[in-house]
Amino acid sequence: MAALIAALAITATAIIAPVAASTPHALSPSPSPSPSASAAAVRLDQGMQLRFRLNSSPQHPIVPNADNYAARTIPVSPLLLFLAATGHRPAQYRDFLATARDRGYHVLALDYWNNGASVAQTCGTNATCYTAVQRNRLDGSDPSPVSSVDPANSIVSRLHAALRHLASVDAAGRWSQFLPGGVIDWADIVLAGHSQGGGESAYISHIHAVRGVLMFASPVDSDHGVNASWMASPGATPASRMYGFDDASDIFGPRIVASWNALGMGAFGAVANADAAIPAGSHELVTHRDLGTPVDAHVRTITDGAPLVGGKPVFAPVWNWMLAQLYPGPSQAAPDEAADHSAPAGA
């Protein structure tokens, strides 16, 4: 615990640019102090978009440390926390992030330790390996030969730092709503991720009751009938709040569908064709568009490399459908949310 407390003393430097639940909340304690940030803000009537990095130190170097992206248009809404694929960075998902922002979400694409071999390659048919890697990357606990992220580089530490920074540079955005009393309010967070990031998101939702999970080309946490060990028992977030999207030609397709089913998502019906009208109640979505090689198919359903139609990502309607399942937008929010949304910015 002492190591984690020290780790949470990181700060951040930011660049800010303009942009055109009713269930009990599960809170994560906030070891203090933790990472922080500094930046000049550009405020607009329609909200804010921010780009920032965590400040590293010789005692607690932050690696990797690419730009984090954050955006919002209204002061009160759920947070979409996005985690990228192995070796990818937040800047490679700007189209999806903008889609979530325009839907009304607060959006945070958080850089985290996703270097080296993917979890799928590292673990294969070793069920406990997935749990060890994903737990270590979440909070820096229990380092092992398969993952040795220190507390300063953990997702929890980085998230604390990012939220405190955003609250300081964009007070009107009310980012502190996700860190009440210095603890993470997981119940007001929608997790979203690509490949390794989607697997990590699913793992976090197993540990914490979150608003929901959106998994793109993920999780790849099953192999030859073996599932990640944490999937063997029910998690804190029900499968009814989980949604997945992939391409039929994805090189990891069978492993991904197996993971969806291990999570219980198959109970809501067969895999739906995302290229047509998506049936109500669907949770597993697949496109049959030609995205190139099987490796390309694993990447292009969510990155900025997605095909364009009329200058817009062809999968934007699918993204919007998925996002709407967990937050229909301020005009259709629950009464308490709608009241908050009507408050003047900065109130």
**Could you tell me the CATH number of the domain that includes residue 298?**
3.40.50.1820
Say whether pLDDT at 295 is over 50.
Answer: yes
Residue at 237 is within a domain: yes
| Cα gap 65→276, rounded to integer Å | 39
| Predicted pLDDT of residue 58 | 85
| Predicted pLDDT of residue 332 | 56
Residue at 170 is within a domain: yes
| Predicted pLDDT of residue 40 | 34
Q: Confidence class of residue 4 from pLDDT cuts 50, 70 and 90?
A: very low
| Predicted pLDDT of residue 10 | 53
Residue at 346 is within a domain: no
CA triple 234-149-58, angle to 5 deg: 150
Residue at 47 is within a domain: yes
The average pLDDT across 88-109 equals: 97
| Cα gap 91→114, rounded to integer Å | 14
Residue at 347 is within a domain: no
Residue at 54 is within a domain: yes
Q: Tell me the per-residue pLDDT of 193-220, one tens digit each, with 9 for 90 and over.
A: 999 999 999 999 999 999 999 999 999 9
What pTM was computed for the model? 0.86
Residue at 217 is within a domain: yes
* 225: number of Cβ within 10 Å: 7
The number of domains in the chain is 1
Q: How many residues does the chain have?
A: 347
| Cα gap 217→245, rounded to integer Å | 6
Distances (CA, A) of 282 to 134, 265, 293, 318: 27, 9, 27, 12
Q: Confidence class of residue 30 from pLDDT cuts 50, 70 and 90?
A: very low
Residue at 257 is within a domain: yes
Domain that holds residue 80: 2-341
| Cα gap 54→173, rounded to integer Å | 20
Q: Confidence class of residue 32 from pLDDT cuts 50, 70 and 90?
A: very low
The continuous run of DSSP H or E covering 3 comes out as helix 2-7
| Predicted pLDDT of residue 57 | 82
* 308: number of Cβ within 10 Å: 12
Mention every residue, 6+ apart, whose C-beta is less than 8 A from residue 227.
Answer: 127, 221, 258, 259, 262
Q: Confidence class of residue 55 from pLDDT cuts 50, 70 and 90?
A: confident
